[in-house]
Structure 1
Amino acid sequence: MDIPRSTLLLFTWLLPFLALADPAQPTHQFTLGNGLKVLVREDHRAPVVTSRLWLKVGSSHELPGQSGLSHALEHMLYKGSSKTCQGEAAAILDNLGASHNAFTDKDATAHYQTLQPHQLGVAFELMADLFATARLRTEDFIPELSVIQEERRQQVDDNPEEMAQEHLASLAFSASSYRTPIIGWMHDLQRLTAEDLRRWFQTRYAPGNATLVVVGDVTLDKVQTLAERYFGPLPAKPFITPRPSLELAEPGERKMVLHQAIPTPRLIMSFNVPSLVTAENRRSVHALRLLDTLLAGSNSARLLKRLQFNDRLFSGISSDYSPLYRGDSLFTLSAQLHSQRTIHLDQAQARIWEVLDEFRTTPPDIAELERARTLLIARQIYDQDSIGHQADRLGLLESIGLSWRLMDEDVDELKQVTPADIQQAAAKYLTRQRLSTVHIRVENTDA
């Protein structure tokens, strides 16, 4: 089959970026005597470095009735330690001009600082102290818990989109702990205690359950010296490592209807699919990533071109799939009906199924696949310009039990996916037996 000239031009445009992506930046790893793994990725393009301490603890590890523990502990870590009083660690970093923050996800919690290379020792000293001696006092937790509860009200309870996503997770993950919201259920937040946090801290914040990732204008020798000085004295201690959270192979079709204060009806379709950790072979995961791009990853993707731009059925439609989970993942399509259309959500969903069935029965042509592959690889290469993105990718891979080396193998593996792989992935995973649907109707209507 001849490849169109437009596609060849796209390949030509990508060639300089492919050259930049190879070889990979020098990356080193070592492990301290207490079990802390350290990754160092040299990137000398700018005089800056980011340090990110990743803990293998997130909302998917939390037991029923204890949701929100990991996120609450992230908040409380900066309330004082053996060396600093409340807020002092943040103030020291602010005075250095550093960018710093923390976040909690399904599988991990990360604390990071981005600053000048000669300041790296300060970041290490502060984080090692907080990591080992955070006070977690009841008198500090009571007001902070009120802050977290208000955060939930604003970001979830009063946000129709986030509320719909939370309901979707509770529906789509029949057997998996990924149904647990990161911020926690409000009724659990109302029962959390400082003692709960202290137990969580003791059983999860251990050097052997963490990865320190350093990316930027540094050398292995410098990082190793500083890591040994500040993190090396921390004592090793036991920690709990839960098993990956697996989903039912074919849980059956599920549906939920919500009524919300939104301008037009919305539709969410989500399929239970594997992640890089749980897949039988990685090629099927990369096929799903490319299918994500083929469906809604650009203005020429089938769902956008046909149902949003041509037919004007939807005012917006998107696709989302992340393979970086310790357990099984979701492949999700979200669409908002056009304000001038009165079509029922069931009819709109049928139109999406028409496009999905095309991929399930017929491989995409090579030109269409190469356009999607080119876009996906280009995004991967552009992301390497950010030391923060590099550190996040390295840390997340290690936190879910995979090797950081997969980051440098990603482009080559994407190049191996064939049109037949796309069809096989669509036929296997985009089925009604794996489908959860949320219909979001405008309040007080039957739309």
Structure 2
Amino acid sequence: MTGGGLLLALTLLALLVLAPGQARAQLFEPDSFTLDNGLQVVVLPNHRVPVVTHMVWYRVGAADEPPGKSGLAHVLEHMMFKGTDSIPPGQFSKIVARNGGRDNAFTSSDFTGYYQNIARDRLETVMEMEADRMANLRLAEEDFQTERDVVIEERLSRTENEPSALLGERLDQALWSVHPYKNPIIGWAHELEALTRQDALDFYDRFYAPNNAVVVVAGDITADELRPLAERTYGTVPADHAAPERARVRDLPPPVDVTVTMTHPRVAQASWWRRIIAPSHNTEQAELYAPLQVLAELLGGGPVSRLYDSLVMEQKVAVSAGAGYSGRAVDFGTFSLYATPAAGRTPADVGAAVEAEIVRLLDEGVTEAEVEGAKTRLKASVVYARDSMFGAARIVGAAMATGATLEDIEGWPEAVAAVSAEDVMDAARAVFVGASSATAILKPESTS
């Protein structure tokens, strides 16, 4: 049930979350209130059509799983559709569909989300259903066994039969070492097979509570209209005494620089990737959050970026090349580089070309004109997010589930506007000098 648009939503999220203390601007014009049980409710008004997107975000993900129980958060996501005393097993999505809506769910390393797109006059129905399963999940042993097998099969089809996914798992293991970000969200096969119904219930009891959740509603409704609905539904769910602590490994080992190479008969085109541990908006270097976004756009954000211009257009060593930054994490972020070799070229060729561009960047710096161009492109990229109820709700919910505030999100334009060329170079040194990195090379089986 992981949504296909998660990557796009998280990319947009990476553009919108920023370090605390920035000035407020109006991106989504949100309103917010908190119920007596600790549940925060955010409203994003959009009155174009009588429709809403309703999302529930829990501050728990794959990185919060107990050691040896990878995949548990995702398995529980599946279990949440198995019913309560009020809703028979397997009926949740059918009820949503009968009311003219659609629903789904998704799990990441840092959060789990559930959503419904539905007509405004059916909103209270889905709020009642979500509040019900927040507190009253019923999980039979047979249902658990069935859904665990579904997830195991999902792993087989989406990971074990996909060479790039397999190599991505090995890359994360090499990069993160002892940190739980090393574990795949879908889980390791042998650990999935060992999960029990009690594991799922314990995880549910620990993390699924109103004071560990955020509800975001985007669409044809105001905060004044939503508050009584929220009080009648979610307001009846008792809070835990305290929000659960996220017992993470906060310290990383000394920096490493490792390379993982894999050949596979199903690979037709070689590729080269690199991931680097980077500051997030939750680290001590949170001031680099916006500069890292600008750096990623300037270096590899599209056809006018340095990497594309040099590797694809000038040298013709690659058919694609780029960079990205994700600082949305509860703990550490990542800065990524990638390139696909042109015909007759190897991953080593494109890797050397990327590294040469990084050396040039560190030696020569960046110009204010480049920085201004990157900032303009970044700000243009979020215009469409304002027009989408689903996109806006997903961006805001994921940001808040990883520690951002509404003020952080709304102040994003000012944070980006304040980035200077010197700030971008500080960001470049943070990720390209002394940080842990892992490089992946994927080759066809016949490639030497």
| TM-score, normalised by the number of residues in structure 2 | 0.90
Letter in 2 for 1:134: L
2:281 is aligned to: 276
2:134 is aligned to: 131
The within-5 A match list for 1:361-376 is 361-376=363-378
Q: CA deviation at 1:432?
A: 5.3
Kept in 2, the 8 Å contact 1:37–1:210? The answer is: yes
Kept in 1, the 8 Å contact 2:93–2:102? The answer is: no
Kept in 1, the 8 Å contact 2:164–2:442? The answer is: no
Kept in 2, the 8 Å contact 1:359–1:427? The answer is: no
Residue-by-residue CA offset, 1:81-112 (whole Å, 9 max, x unaligned): 11111221211110122121110011100010
Q: Secondary structure at the match of 2:406?
A: coil
- Distance in 2 of aligned mates of 1:177 and 1:76: 22
- Distance in 2 of aligned mates of 1:318 and 1:107: 25
| 1:394 alignment partner, one of 385, 393, 396 | 396
- Distance in 1 of aligned mates of 2:110 and 2:203: 15
- Distance in 1 of aligned mates of 2:264 and 2:159: 13
Q: Which has the higher contact order (CA 8 A, sep 6+)?
A: 2
Q: CA deviation at 1:223?
A: 0.9
2:216 is aligned to: 213
- Distance in 2 of aligned mates of 1:270 and 1:364: 22
Kept in 2, the 8 Å contact 1:362–1:423? The answer is: no
Letter in 2 for 1:412: E
- Larger mean CA deviation between 190-199 and 428-437 belongs to 428-437
- Distance in 2 of aligned mates of 1:383 and 1:234: 32
- Distance in 1 of aligned mates of 2:78 and 2:246: 23
Question: How many pairs does the alignment contain?
Answer: 423
Asked if 1:357 corresponds to 2:359, the answer is: yes
1:346 is aligned to: 348
Residue-by-residue CA offset, 1:38-59 (whole Å, 9 max, x unaligned): 1122222332211101001100
| 1:383 alignment partner, one of 359, 382, 385 | 385
| 2:271 alignment partner, one of 252, 266, 269 | 266
- Larger mean CA deviation between 234-243 and 318-327 belongs to 234-243
| 1:287 alignment partner, one of 280, 288, 291 | 291
Q: Secondary structure at the match of 1:171?
A: helix
Q: CA deviation at 1:247?
A: 5.1
- Distance in 1 of aligned mates of 2:348 and 2:413: 38
The within-5 A match list for 1:137-286 is 137-238=140-241, 239-243=243-247, 245-246=249-250, 248=252, 250-261=254-265, 262-282=267-287, 284-286=288-290
Q: Secondary structure at the match of 2:235?
A: coil
- Distance in 2 of aligned mates of 1:350 and 1:25: 42
Kept in 2, the 8 Å contact 1:361–1:423? The answer is: no
Residue-by-residue CA offset, 1:300-355 (whole Å, 9 max, x unaligned): 111111112222211222322111110101111122212332x4x33432211111
Q: CA deviation at 1:153?
A: 0.9
Structure 1 gap ranges (5+) = 1-20
- Distance in 2 of aligned mates of 1:413 and 1:326: 20
Instruction: Give the superposed CA RMSD.
Output: 1.8
Q: Secondary structure at the match of 2:41?
A: strand
Letter in 1 for 2:344: Q
Identity of aligned residues (%): 30
- Distance in 1 of aligned mates of 2:89 and 2:343: 50
Kept in 2, the 8 Å contact 1:314–1:335? The answer is: yes
| TM-score, normalised by the number of residues in structure 1 | 0.90
Counterparts in 2 of 1:223 and 1:315: CA distance versus 1, 3 Å: same
Kept in 1, the 8 Å contact 2:277–2:435? The answer is: no
Structure 2 gap ranges (5+) = 1-23
- Distance in 2 of aligned mates of 1:288 and 1:247: 21
Q: CA deviation at 1:72?
A: 0.4
Q: CA deviation at 1:274?
A: 0.9
- Distance in 2 of aligned mates of 1:347 and 1:230: 59
2:330 is aligned to: 326
Q: Secondary structure at the match of 1:332?
A: strand
